[in-house]
Chains A and B, each alone.
Chain A
Amino acid sequence: MVSFKEIEVGFEIPTYIKGPIKREQLVEYAKASGDGNPIHTNEQIAVMAGLKGVIAHGLLDMAYMIQAIVNWLGKDGELKSIDVQFRGMVRPGDMVHSKAKVTKKYEENGKKFLDLEIWQEALTPIATISSSLTIDKIEPPPDGTLKLYEAAYRGWLKDGQNIVLEQKKADNKIEYTFYGKQNSIIGTAKVELFK
């Protein structure tokens, strides 16, 4: 339960994860939303527009951000407003992490409100190394297999972009995946809590 009494400034809502983003999903979103801009669905046009391939609709990213908050609130509150800036492009293959933190807690006309700082991280996979051995620096271990993703050869990463490493156990091997990380959305939101 989300209750006004228990939530303090600085509280972070659970990270809401979507992805990997698929191209078919962008086609489906284009139809459902009515946004027919071909930079989201047509590789050739997206490349011609200088985007190095299709990108997700900013409003789809925003939809995930809204879901993150609404899902967290459940029946205990309501999202009153959301204000986002689109900062980075989300690509096919990306994992999208929507996050929010309480910045202010207050009452107004007998109602309880929280202000949130919101942000969404897009994690673009670059390479996965699977190995039974421990990774040493960035060198693939000798028994490792290397899988490259589109970002590795299509120039999707920006100079100086943050790279993060995720470790996952798969069978008796360890999978190390490198992701380019950036904020796709930053902004603020206001929610009302009922209890």
Chain B
Amino acid sequence: MSESKYEKYIGMKLEPVVFEVTGDRIRQYAKATDDPNPEFHLEEDSKLLTPLSFTSVYWISAIPNFLKKVMEEGIIKDLSRLLHGGQKYEFLKPVKPGDKLELYVEIKNIYVKNNMLFIEFNLPVKNQNKEMVSNLTTTFIIRPGGF
């Protein structure tokens, strides 16, 4: 497969995914990550703060759709060859229980290097008031045989 075959996918946007933040989800996450900050474990939702790394939880909610799309398009053929190469988070506004987040996925770059396929995609995340809460960038690497 030549590199140019992938060019048409650069800029491809997916339907936004909605993620609802709940206090229970934040507390469950803070416990699972053994976070020492007591403010992430408070029982009262109105006082509860959200760990910045909770970003990973809503990020994950957008991934099944993304993988389905890249499989349908034939970009990735074997998911067991997929590696998570990198992750970048820009934190713009706190997330709190009750927020409804919208994640917009857009493929930023896709190329072959050292016999591996690199897919970089960007996820701007907005809350119910259309305010940007974070901007996420991910690199997936597909090992030989997987694309």
Known contacts being A71-B36, A81-B90, is A63 close to B53, with CB within 8 Å?
yes
B33 close to A67 (CB less than 8 A): yes
B32 closest partner in A (C-beta): A32
B29 closest partner in A (C-beta): A32
Residues of B at the A interface (CB closer than 8 Å) are: 25, 28-29, 31-37, 51-53, 56-57, 59-61, 80, 83-91, 137, 139
Q: Is the interface of B mostly helix, strand, loop or mixed?
A: mixed
Partner of A34, one of B60, B80, B84, B86: B60
B91 close to A33 (CB less than 8 A): no
Known contacts being A62-B56, A86-B85, is A32 close to B33, with CB within 8 Å?
yes
Which of A59, A60, A78 has the most chain B CB within a 10 Å cutoff?
A: A59
Known contacts being A62-B53, A66-B51, is A81 close to B32, with CB within 8 Å?
no
B32 close to A31 (CB less than 8 A): yes
Cβ of B25: which chain A residues have Cβ within 8 Å of it? 32
Minimum CB–CB distance from B138 to chain A (whole Å) comes to 10
B56 close to A63 (CB less than 8 A): yes
The verdict on A58 contacting chain B, using a C-beta distance below 8 Å, is yes
